[in-house]
Structure 1
Amino acid sequence: MAPTTHTVLGGAVFLFSALAGAKDSGAPNFYHHSPPAYPAPIGTGNGLPEWSEAYSKAQAIVAQMTLAEKVNLTSGTGWESEQCVGNTGSVPRLGIRGLCLQDSPLGVRAGLYSSAFPAGVTIASTWDDGLAYRRGYAMGAEHRGKGVDVQLGPVSGPLGLFPEGGRNWEGAGSDPYLSGIGLAAAVRGIQDAGVIACAKHYIANEQEHWRQRGENPDVPIEEALSSNVDDRAMHEVFAWPFADAVRAGVGSIMCSYNQINNSYGCQNSELLNGILKNELGFQGFVLSDWQAQHAGVATALAGLDMAMPGDQVFLSHNAYWGSNLTVAVLNGSVPIWRLDDMATRIMASFYKVGRDKTQVPVNLDAWTTDVYGYQHWFAKENYGIINGNVDVRGAHGALIREIAAKGTVILKNNGSLPLGRPRQIAVFGSDATDNPKGPNGCEDRGCADGTVAMGWGSGTANFPYLISPLTALQNKAYQDNTVIQWVVDDYAIDSMHNVAKQADTCLVFVKSQAGEGYLTVDGNRGDRNNLTLWSNGEQVIKTVAGNCSNTIVTVHAPGPVLMEEWIDHPNITAVLFAGLPGQESGNSIVDVLYGFIEPGRLPFTIAKSASDYGVKLMYEPDNLYAPQQNLTNALMIDYRHFDKNNIEPRFEFGFGLSYSNWTYKSITVRKTSAGPYTPFVGRTPAAKNTNVTESPSSLLFPPGFHKVAAYIYPFLSSTSQAGLSGDGEHGPADAYDPSGTPTRPAGGAPGGNPQLYDVLWQVNVTVANTGKRNGEEVVQLYVSQGEQDDPVRVLRGFRRVSVDAGQWTSVIFDITRRDVARWDVVSQNWVVSSAKKKVYVGRSSRDLPLVADLD
C-alpha cells in the first residue's frame, strides 16, 4: 500500500514517528485510550424483517462482483471528481452506477429549484416528531428527485454540550432523548422517500476549533482534538440518539473528524466495531466525513465501510483506499471477508430504501449552478448538461412555513401578543431585511448580512427565495391598512430613536450566527466566540425600548444568546426565539406574532451568564500535538447541569409560552407485566468467504481504458504493485478472525438488547385547555432515577397535543426499561438500580406539577 501515517496499536491510533519521539516532541502523556474491539462484525440482516430482503439482494449481487468492483463501491472517486459532493465508483457490468452522496441535513446543497428547510434547531423547537418525519420525507423526496442516493443528514452530533458550538443548529436539541426521537423520525422520513439517510457526526464532535489538523494554519496542530469521554456518558448521552437512529433502520452513519479518547473517529474500533456494529446491531454502512480518514488498513479493520471523498487530502489525488485497498486485500492486510462486508452493507442499504426502483439520473452539480459544464469538474472532462434544473420543491413551502412557525418559541409575553391590527408598527434591525448580496450571496451562507435563516457551512442549501420579516410584515400591514416604517441600519441610532417614538408597536429583529469551521465570519471560526448578539443587537434593543412602550424582540440564532442586558426592560413586552427558520422566515414569524400558529418550546437552556453552563469550549489548544478536551461534565449536559447545581436559568429547557392556558389535572401510573432483563448471549456472524482467488494480473487496468485525470480507481498499474512478497501493514491478530466475536450483553438487535424497549409502566395524564382559544400544548415527562450521581431528572417522553378551549385530553406515555436504566461500567450493560424512582409531568423541565412514584 501507499505509505500511511497511522496504524493500530490496541484500540488507539497514533503516529509511529510521534510515539518514537514523544519525549523530544513534547507530546503529552495520554491518559484516555480507546480500547480495542475486533474483528469487525459482519452484517447479515438475519431475523430482521426490515433488513432481510435487502441483505438477500445485496449478498447475491456482491457475490457476482470482482475484487476491483467491490473496492470501487467502497472508495470515493475524489474531490470534484464528479457532480455530487461525494461519489463512489461504479459497477457498470452489473448495472450499478456510482453512488451520489450530497449534503445537507436541511435540504439539497448546491444546485437550483430545491427548498431551504428550517434548521435542526428549529424542528427540535417544535417538539413534534410528526413534523420531523414530514420534514424528513420532504427533504428525502427532493434529494431523490435530484438523483441523490445518500442524503448526508440528519444530525445528532454535536448535541450542544457547548452552547457556542458552531454546528449545534444542525442538530435536534441538547438532550439525548429529544435528539434521538427527532433523529429517528427524520431517518424514517428520508428513507421512506427512497433515499439513504446518513446520521452524523459519530461521535462527541462538539466543537469546530481543532476538529481537524490544518484547518487553522496559524496554529498548526499535529493531530485533531481528542474528545475524552467516560464510558457512562458515551452510552447515556452521545450514543443514545444514534441508538434510536439504528433502531429506526438508518442506512448509513458518518464518523467524525475528531479523535475520541485519542483514536480517530473513523478508525476507532471500539466505537465502530464495538458499540455501533456489535452492541447497537447497526446493519448499514459507516462512511467517513470528508478527509476524516487517516489510514488505509487501520480504518478498514476498525469498521469503516466507505471512504469519502476518496482522496487523502482534497485534490491530492492520493487515496488510502482505491487501488491501495485492492493491494491490501491481495497481500492479506485486509481480509477479503471485511471487503465483502463493506460492499454488502452498502448494497443492503441501497436496496432497503428501494434505490433500485427510485433512482433517477443525477441532475445537480455541487461545483456550479451553470446548466452546462464538466461532469468531471476537476479534470475538465465530459462537457454537457450537469444541472438539469429539475424542480423538486413541490408544495414544500407550506410545510416549511408551518415548521418554522411551530418552532418559534415565545419567551416573554406581557399581553402584547398576539397582535391585532395596530395603527402603526415600526421594524428595526438588519435581521429584519434582505442581504444586499442576495440570499445566496455569501459562500455557504458564510456571513450575517440581512436576516439570518440558516447557519453556515456544508449543512446549508441554496435558498430558492427568502421571505424576510420586513417583507412579510409589509404584506400584512397592507392587508390591515397599518402604517409601517422601518430602520434596518443597526448603527442608525438617531433614526431608530425618532421612528420608535411614533409607533404603537415596535418590532426589533436581532441575530447571532454560527457554522462550520472552514469558514470564519466576523472573527468567529465556526464556533461562536461568545453568546452575545451580533450587529450591535443589544444597543438596537435598548434604543428602541427606551423610546417605545410596546417593544417586541425576535431573535434569530443558532442557539442560546444572553439576554440579561435587556430582558427585564419594562417596555419590552414580548420576546421570541425564532431559531433558523429557512426560506419562509418572514411569513412564519408573522404567523406567530398575529396568533395564527401555536408556538414551540426551547430545546436547550438559556442561561443568565455563559459560565452557568459549566463547560468551556477550547478556543486555544492545550498542546500542539493533539489537544485534549476532557468532557467531564457530559452526563450533566444542559438542563441537567442547572438542576444538579441548583442554578437558576433565565429560561429553562422545554420552556415556552402558549396563547392559551393549561391545567395539569391528574396522573396515574400502571405497572406492566414485562419480564426480567437478561443479558444477550450469542455471536456475530462468521465470514463465509476467506480466500482471495483473483490474481494481480486480473486486477490491472483493462486494455484501452481511459483514465480520467485525478480520478481514484481500484485497478493496479502493474502486478508488482501488489507487493505479494510481504504481508503489508497488519493490525492485531484478532482483527482477522473470521469466526466473529461474542455479541455484547447489551446488544442483540438494532438499537441494543430488545428487552431495553420493554414497557415497564404506562403513565396517563389529563391536561385541560382552560383558556379562551384553541391551542397546542407540549406535554413533557421526566424521570428521576434516584441515584446520587444521576441527573436530578431526565426527559423521557413528550407529546404535542391539540386541545380546544374548555376541553381536556388524556396523554399516555410508555416508560421503557431503557428510560430508567443507567449504564454500568463494570458489567458493561444497562442496569435498573433499586433506588426509588419518580415520574414528573408538566410544561418544562422546571414546571412539573404532576408527580408519581414508579413502583
Structure 2
Amino acid sequence: MAPLKPTVLGGAVVLLSALAGANESGVPTFSHHSPPAYPAPIGHGNGLPGWSEAYSKAQAIVAQMTLAEKVNLTTGTGWQSEGCVGNTGSIPRLGLRGLCLQDSPLGIRLGLYSSAFPAGVTIASTWDEGLAYRRGFAMGMEHRGKGVDIQLGPVSGPLGLFPEGGRNWEGAGSDPHLSGNGLAAAVRGIQDAGVIACAKHYIANEQEHFRLPGENPIEIKESISSNVDDRTMHEVYAWPFADAVRAGVGAIMCSIEILTIRYGRYPMRCKQTAILPVHKAADKDKINNSYGCQNSELLNGILKNELGFQGFVLSDWQAQHGGVATALAGLDMTMPGDQKFLTHTSYWGGNLTVAVLNGSVPTWRLDDMATRIMASFYKVGRDKTQVDVNLNSWTKDVYGYQNFYAKENYRIVNGNVDVRGTHGQLIREIAAKGTVILKNKGSLPLGKPRQIAVFGSDATDNPRGPNSCDDRGCSDGTVAMGWGSGTANFPYLISPLTALQNRAYQDNSVIQWVVDDYATEHMDATARQADTCLVFVKADAGEGYLTVDGNNGDRNNLTLWANGEHVIKTVAGNCSNTIVTVHAPGPVLMEEWIDHPNVTAVLFAGLPGQESGNSIVDVLYGHVEPGRLPFTIAKSAEDYGVKLMYKPDNSYAPQQDFTSGLMIDYRHFDKQNIKPRFEFGFGLSYSNWTYKSITVRKTSAGPYTPFSGRTPAANSKNVTETPSDLLFPPGFHQVPGYIYPYLSSTTQYGLTGNGTNGPAEGYNPTGTPIRPAGGAPGGNPQLYDVLWQVNVTVANSGSRNGEEIVQLYVSQGEQDDPVRVLRGFRRVSVDAGGWTSVIFDITRRDVARWDVASQDWLVTAAKKKVYVGRSSRDLPLVADLD
C-alpha cells in the first residue's frame, strides 16, 4: 500500500510537523513521509559490463523455475534453520543449493580458523584505496573458502552523524566521499574473490537506540524514524551507496529503522525516524512514515531507478514488516525469513505464493526478484567458485545438527577449513597504517628505551579469553573491535603488552606494567622508574541488542572507559615521557589531559583486529607511516551540533529530524567556525612535507544532459500452476521451524483457480521512466565526466622516507553549501629529499548540488575553488575552477 502523497505548492513539497495528531484508534499520525515510487524497475543488465552476461544466464535459469522455486529463492528459511546466519531455500531440480549469507564486515562472524580484520574505522584511517581493496579481497576469499555466498558487508550506514553512534566503527568514515571510496574498493575486492558483497545499512541508519522495539530500556511501539531532507539524502547519505552501485555491488541491505525523505527547499529541519509498517492498515491509521524495507521511494525510486542498481535488495534481520507492501516497494529477499526470530511464520514463503496466485503481487515482480538474485550470483562467478558450506553459526563442535533449531540431520557441520592464509600480515599492515599520531613532541619514534612501563587494562588480555563474550559484548582487556553482529571470532589476539614484551626482549629493555586501572599507588611507583611510559586507554560501542557497561549499543558519552582519564593523569604526573594510545570506535574527548606537559605523544589506534599489539609497536618504533583521522575530534560533545536520541519524543515511533543537513562532522565545524581539537583528515607524519605547486587544466567535457528513457517492460503473465500444484508434495517431510514456499491447503486462502495477474500499483507495461539523474549504475553517466584535472607537487622535505596523504577539497561557492567538501585523496610514498606529482580528476558530480525542484544534479554559476593539503584545515594550495 502506497504512502500518502505530499502536498505540493508552487513546485515545492511542503511537510508539516512530524507529530500531527492521532486517529480515532489513538495511533499517532506523522506528517513526515516519503512519496510513493511504483512500480519496481525491472533489472536488465543491458549493455552494462559485468551485468549483461550475468543477466542472460539469470533470465535463462529463472525461466525454468516454478513459482514455488522462485519463492524459495527469495525467502529465508528461518532463524537457526541451517548453519549460516541467513539461508535461502534450495532448488535441487536445477542444481542450486540454498544460498548462505554470513556476517560480517570485518571477518566471518562466529567462524573458526578465520581472521579478525581491522574494523571499518581503521581501514578508513589509512586513506588507502589499495589497502581497502586488499582487505575486501582477503575477507572475500575467507568467506568463499567457508562456502559463504553473500558477505554482509561492507558498511556505510551509519555514516557517523552522531559521534556516539554504536556502529560507526563498522563504516568507512564520516565523509561521503571517503566512505564511498572505501565502500567501492571493498565491494570490488570481495566480489573479485567470487563472493557477493552486500553494502549496508541502506540508509541513514545512524543510531542504535529505538531501532527496534524491545531492544531499548524505554519501550516503544515502532522503530525510530530518520527524517532527512531530499538534498541531504542525495549529497550525504546516498552518495557512498552510489559509489558501491557503480562498483557493481551485487546486494544492498535495507535497514531496520523507519525513514522519511522530506522533499522541499534546503535546508529543512527534520528528525531521524523509523519507518512504520504499512501492513498495519497504514492508510486507515494514517501512519505515513515508512520502514526502510518497504519505502518505495528509497528502493524503487532512488536505488533501482535513479542509481540504476542491478542487484537485489535484502532485508536486515527482522526488518521486514509486511508482505505485499515490501514486494511492491522493491524488496527482493527477506532475511532470516521468519517475521521475528523463531516465530516460524513469514510474510513471504507460502504467503508470497498466495499473493502471486491471487494477483496481489504480479508474476513479473517475483520474476524480477529471482532474476536479480541470480544475476548477482553469476556476476561474481558463484557458479564457478561455490563450495559446500563448512561453517556453523550455532555450535563450535565438529558434529552437530544441520537444522539446528529442529535438531535434525546430524552430520559434520564445522569442517574447520583454515581460510586465513597469510592474512595476518595484511591485518598488521592495515592496523599500523590506520593508526593516527595526534601529538608528538619528539618522543616518537622510540629508539631502545632503557626501561618501559605499560599501563591500563587496554594493554592486556581479557583474562577469560578474546572470544569469551558473545559477539564481543564486553570491554575487558584490550579493545580490538566493537560488539554486535559486525564482529568475528579472534583466531588469536596479540595484546599491546605482549608485543611490547617481545620488543623489549629484542632491545634488552626493562619492561614493567600495571594493568589494573584503579591501582593508583602501583602506577605512581612504576611510572617514576621508567624512561618511557606507555598508557593504553579505551572506549567501546556496538549494536543495540547488547548492553555493555550501561551503554545500549550507542555510547552514553564521549569519555574514556575504565577510569581512562585518571590513569593518564596519574601516570603523567609521575613520568615526563608519557605516550597515550587510544583504542576506540570513534572520537573521544581529550581536554582533561591532552595539554599535560608530560603527555609527549598521543595515538588514535581505532579498532585494529587480531594484530593489535604488533601493529601499534610498528608505529611506536617508526617502522610504519601512520594514517589520518576519518572524523573530527572536538573539544566538547556539544561542538558537534547534533544530539543522539536517548529518550523518545513519543512512545509510539520516535521522530528524529536530521537538522544538521549537509553539515555533518567537519562541515559543521567549518560552517560554524568552531575550532576542533583535531580536525578531519589530521595526522602527524614521521617526515616533513612541502606542498609546492598546483595547476588546473579544464577538459573538453560536453554539457550535462538529463537522462531520458525507460526500463525494460515487464512481462506480465498468468500463473501456470494451480493452487493444488503448490501444496506440499505427498510424503514431504517438513523440518520443524523451516519456512517453505508451499501451501498447506487451498481452501483456507479461498483459492479455487490459478488466479490472474491483477494490475500492480502503478504498473505500466511499457516500462518505468528513468529519472533524469539516472541512466547507469551510480547515476547519470555524465555525472562522472571529468571537468578538471588538478596537478599538485608534493615534496618530502624530511630526513627519512615517508608516506603522505594528499587531500583535495572543493568549495562549491553557494552560501548554503559547506565551506569545503572532500573530493579526492591519495596516499603516496616519497623518499627523503624527493618529490612527487599527484593528479586528481574532478568530475561533474564533485561540483554538482542536488536540485530539489528539477530532481536532478545542477552545477551552479557560483565561483568554485579547489584546495589541496594535509587535512581539512591545513590546505596551503588553492586554485580557481574556471
Give the structure-1-normalised TM-score: 0.97
Q: Which residue of 2 aligns with 1:81?
A: 81
Give yes or no for contact 2:20–2:28 (8 Å, CA) kept in 1. Answer: no
What is the alpha-carbon distance in structure 2 between the residues aligned to residue 362 and residue 721 of structure 1? 37
* Residue number among 779, 784, 789 corresponding to 1:757 in the alignment: 784
What is the alpha-carbon distance in structure 2 between the residues aligned to residue 54 and residue 197 of structure 1? 16
User: What is the CA deviation profile of residues 142-188 of structure 1, one whole-angstrom value per residue up to 9, with x for unaligned ones?
Assistant: 00000000000000000000000000000000000000000000000
* Residue number among 409, 413, 425 corresponding to 1:398 in the alignment: 425
Deviation at 1:25? 5.9
Superposition pairs of residues 531-546 of structure 1, within 5 angstroms: 531-546=558-573
What is the alpha-carbon distance in structure 2 between the residues aligned to residue 704 and residue 728 of structure 1? 26
* Residue number among 378, 386, 390 corresponding to 1:359 in the alignment: 386
* Residue number among 578, 601, 604 corresponding to 1:551 in the alignment: 578
User: Can you give the 5+ residue segments of structure 2 that lack an aligned partner in the other structure?
Assistant: 7-18, 261-288
Q: Which residue of 2 aligns with 1:3?
A: none
Give yes or no for contact 1:135–1:189 (8 Å, CA) kept in 2. Answer: yes
Q: Which residue of 1 aligns with 2:273?
A: none
Q: Which residue of 1 aligns with 2:230?
A: 231
Judged with a 3 Å threshold, the aligned counterparts in structure 2 of structure 1 residues 719 and 654 are, in CA distance, closer, same or farther, namely same
Deviation at 1:785? 0.1
SS at match of 1:640: helix
Q: Which residue of 2 aligns with 1:245?
A: 244
Q: Which residue of 2 aligns with 1:660?
A: 687
What is the alpha-carbon distance in structure 1 between the residues aligned to residue 26 and residue 649 of structure 2? 12
Superposition pairs of residues 416-815 of structure 1, within 5 angstroms: 416-724=443-751, 734-815=761-842
Judged with a 3 Å threshold, the aligned counterparts in structure 2 of structure 1 residues 373 and 11 are, in CA distance, closer, same or farther, namely farther
SS at match of 1:506: strand
SS at match of 2:401: strand
Deviation at 1:81? 0.2
Deviation at 1:221? 1.1
Give yes or no for contact 2:166–2:544 (8 Å, CA) kept in 1. Answer: yes
Give yes or no for contact 1:333–1:728 (8 Å, CA) kept in 2. Answer: no
SS at match of 1:667: strand
Give yes or no for contact 2:698–2:789 (8 Å, CA) kept in 1. Answer: yes
Give the structure-2-normalised TM-score: 0.94
Give yes or no for contact 1:111–1:387 (8 Å, CA) kept in 2. Answer: no
Q: Which residue of 2 aligns with 1:219?
A: 218
Give yes or no for contact 1:301–1:735 (8 Å, CA) kept in 2. Answer: no
Q: Which residue of 2 aligns with 1:328?
A: 355
What is the alpha-carbon distance in structure 1 between the residues aligned to residue 26 and residue 56 of structure 2? 52
* Residue number among 329, 343, 352 corresponding to 1:316 in the alignment: 343
Give yes or no for contact 1:331–1:726 (8 Å, CA) kept in 2. Answer: no
What is the alpha-carbon distance in structure 1 between the residues aligned to residue 322 and residue 761 of structure 2? 19
Give yes or no for contact 1:332–1:727 (8 Å, CA) kept in 2. Answer: no
User: What is the CA deviation profile of residues 3-60 of structure 1, one whole-angstrom value per residue up to 9, with x for unaligned ones?
Assistant: xxxx444479xxxxxx999346654442211000000000010010210000000000
Q: Which residue of 2 aligns with 1:69?
A: 69
SS at match of 1:694: coil
What is the alpha-carbon distance in structure 2 between the residues aligned to residue 20 and residue 820 of structure 1? 38
What is the alpha-carbon distance in structure 2 between the residues aligned to residue 28 and residue 514 of structure 1? 32
Q: Which residue of 2 aligns with 1:4?
A: none
Cα RMSD, aligned residues only? 1.6
Look up the equivalent residue of 1:41 and give its one-letter code: P
Deviation at 1:689? 3.9
SS at match of 1:724: coil
Q: Which residue of 1 aligns with 2:857?
A: 830
SS at match of 1:287: strand
What is the alpha-carbon distance in structure 1 between the residues aligned to residue 64 and residue 761 of structure 2? 28
Look up the equivalent residue of 1:570 and give its one-letter code: P
What is the alpha-carbon distance in structure 1 between the residues aligned to residue 29 and residue 85 of structure 2? 38
Superposition pairs of residues 159-178 of structure 1, within 5 angstroms: 159-178=159-178
Answering whether residue 207 of structure 2 is matched by residue 180 of structure 1, we say no
What is the alpha-carbon distance in structure 1 between the residues aligned to residue 31 and residue 461 of structure 2? 50
Deviation at 1:220? 2.1
Deviation at 1:365? 0.4
What is the alpha-carbon distance in structure 2 between the residues aligned to residue 153 and residue 321 of structure 1? 24
Look up the equivalent residue of 2:197 and give its one-letter code: A
Deviation at 1:750? 0.1
Deviation at 1:556? 0.0
What is the alpha-carbon distance in structure 1 between the residues aligned to residue 400 and residue 703 of structure 2? 62
Q: Which residue of 2 aligns with 1:254?
A: 253
User: What is the CA deviation profile of residues 649-677 of structure 1, one whole-angstrom value per residue up to 9, with x for unaligned ones?
Assistant: 00000000000000000000000000000
Deviation at 1:721? 4.0
SS at match of 2:71: helix
SS at match of 1:636: coil
Judged with a 3 Å threshold, the aligned counterparts in structure 2 of structure 1 residues 804 and 274 are, in CA distance, closer, same or farther, namely same
SS at match of 1:312: coil
Aligned length: 842
Deviation at 1:685? 1.1
Q: Which residue of 2 aligns with 1:200?
A: 200
Answering whether residue 119 of structure 2 is matched by residue 119 of structure 1, we say yes
Q: Which residue of 1 aligns with 2:845?
A: 818
Deviation at 1:728? 11
Answering whether residue 839 of structure 2 is matched by residue 840 of structure 1, we say no
Judged with a 3 Å threshold, the aligned counterparts in structure 2 of structure 1 residues 272 and 796 are, in CA distance, closer, same or farther, namely same
Answering whether residue 42 of structure 2 is matched by residue 36 of structure 1, we say no
Give yes or no for contact 1:11–1:270 (8 Å, CA) kept in 2. Answer: no
* Residue number among 340, 345, 363 corresponding to 2:372 in the alignment: 345
Give yes or no for contact 2:720–2:754 (8 Å, CA) kept in 1. Answer: no
What is the alpha-carbon distance in structure 2 between the residues aligned to residue 215 and residue 153 of structure 1? 23
Deviation at 1:700? 1.0
Deviation at 1:835? 0.2
Give yes or no for contact 1:169–1:559 (8 Å, CA) kept in 2. Answer: yes
What is the alpha-carbon distance in structure 2 between the residues aligned to residue 177 and residue 764 of structure 1? 19
Give yes or no for contact 1:409–1:602 (8 Å, CA) kept in 2. Answer: yes
Q: Which residue of 2 aligns with 1:47?
A: 47
Judged with a 3 Å threshold, the aligned counterparts in structure 2 of structure 1 residues 341 and 623 are, in CA distance, closer, same or farther, namely same
What is the alpha-carbon distance in structure 2 between the residues aligned to residue 21 and residue 703 of structure 1? 53
What is the alpha-carbon distance in structure 2 between the residues aligned to residue 599 and residue 591 of structure 1? 10
Answering whether residue 415 of structure 2 is matched by residue 415 of structure 1, we say no
Deviation at 1:692? 1.3
Q: Which residue of 2 aligns with 1:377?
A: 404
Q: Which residue of 1 aligns with 2:210?
A: 210
Give yes or no for contact 2:718–2:756 (8 Å, CA) kept in 1. Answer: no
Q: Which residue of 1 aligns with 2:275?
A: none
What is the alpha-carbon distance in structure 2 between the residues aligned to residue 729 and residue 264 of structure 1? 29
Identity of aligned residues (%): 85
Deviation at 1:723? 2.8
Give yes or no for contact 1:337–1:738 (8 Å, CA) kept in 2. Answer: no
Deviation at 1:562? 0.1
Deviation at 1:741? 1.6
Judged with a 3 Å threshold, the aligned counterparts in structure 2 of structure 1 residues 729 and 486 are, in CA distance, closer, same or farther, namely farther
What is the alpha-carbon distance in structure 2 between the residues aligned to residue 735 and residue 144 of structure 1? 40
Look up the equivalent residue of 1:266 and give its one-letter code: C
What is the alpha-carbon distance in structure 1 between the residues aligned to residue 26 and residue 200 of structure 2? 33
User: Can you give the 5+ residue segments of structure 1 that lack an aligned partner in the other structure?
Assistant: 1-6, 13-18
What is the alpha-carbon distance in structure 2 between the residues aligned to residue 726 and residue 630 of structure 1? 49
Give yes or no for contact 1:428–1:508 (8 Å, CA) kept in 2. Answer: yes
SS at match of 2:696: strand
Deviation at 1:282? 0.1
Q: Which residue of 2 aligns with 1:57?
A: 57
Give yes or no for contact 2:21–2:30 (8 Å, CA) kept in 1. Answer: no
Give yes or no for contact 1:766–1:809 (8 Å, CA) kept in 2. Answer: yes
What is the alpha-carbon distance in structure 1 between the residues aligned to residue 240 and residue 799 of structure 2? 38
